Amino acid sequence: MTRPRTDLLLELADDELILGWRDSEWTGIAPFLEEDVAFSSIAQNEIGHARALYELAARDLGTDADVLAFDRRPEEYCCAPLVQAGLVGDWAGTIARHFLYEAADAVRIEALKASPDAELAGIAAKIDREETYHRLHAEMWELRLRDEPRFRAAFEVRWPLALGVLAPDLRPRLAERVGREEVEPVERSTPGTEFEALWNEMTMVRRSAPTGAQW
């Protein structure tokens, strides 16, 4: 790996942060109460992972996790297109994204666990222990919804986005994992307007006081 490790950490952390932020939108309005509680934990875990990853990056960069999570300009975030869309109300889309993201993340984390960088490998192993439950959750939902037409459609739309979560060398493993042919992936790029709207909302309280204010 020749990229600086902070690039890699920020990419991962941004994915986890934004997915966690999006998933947290379901808190209080999920399809039924038991699932509401379960899905909220998943959202919290994703944000917890983002925090741990930002902390590691922040140490290299001489800053702190909150600054990395909130105080960058929208165009400085490098989260994958898969995690950016707001899907409140669309449970089929949410579960399709959840399933595909967990599968992609499993491939990515597996690779990171083998990293020669002990800190990276260590954090990957820790994340993996929690993600095991997310994968179980995603898989049992996929099993129940896979014959629902709206779930099939939501899955098709997101397959190229899921491939784009991973570096090119890892994509075949994802295709194998979910039993699909590789297609033209949707690559990471400067975040679009939907992300900007989210960024505006997620930073609005924080931006209302001068930089460095305590909340």
Q: Which helix (H) or strand (E) holds 149?
A: helix 149-163
Coil, helix or strand for 203?
A: helix
The residue (of 32 and 181) whose beta carbon lies closer to another protein is: 32
Decide: is 90 part of the binding site for another protein (CB under 8 A): yes
CB of 95 to another protein, least distance (A): 9
Site string for another protein, 111-150 (x = CB under 8 A): ----------------------x--xx--x---xx--x-x
- Residues 18 and 77: beta-carbon distance below 8 Å: yes
Binding segment for another protein among 3-11, 112-120, 152-160, 207-215 (CB under 8 A)? 207-215
Q: Which of residues 26-65 bind another protein (CB under 8 A)?
A: 27-38, 40-41, 43-44, 47-48, 50-51, 54, 65
The residue (of 90 and 128) whose beta carbon lies closer to another protein is: 90
Altogether, the residues listed in the chain come to a count of 215
Residue with tokens 């959202």: 43
List the structure tokens of 39. 């899905």
Number of residues that bind another protein (CB under 8 A): 52
What is the Cα–Cα distance from 155 to 97, expressed in whole angstroms?
7
Secondary structure E strands in 24-105: none
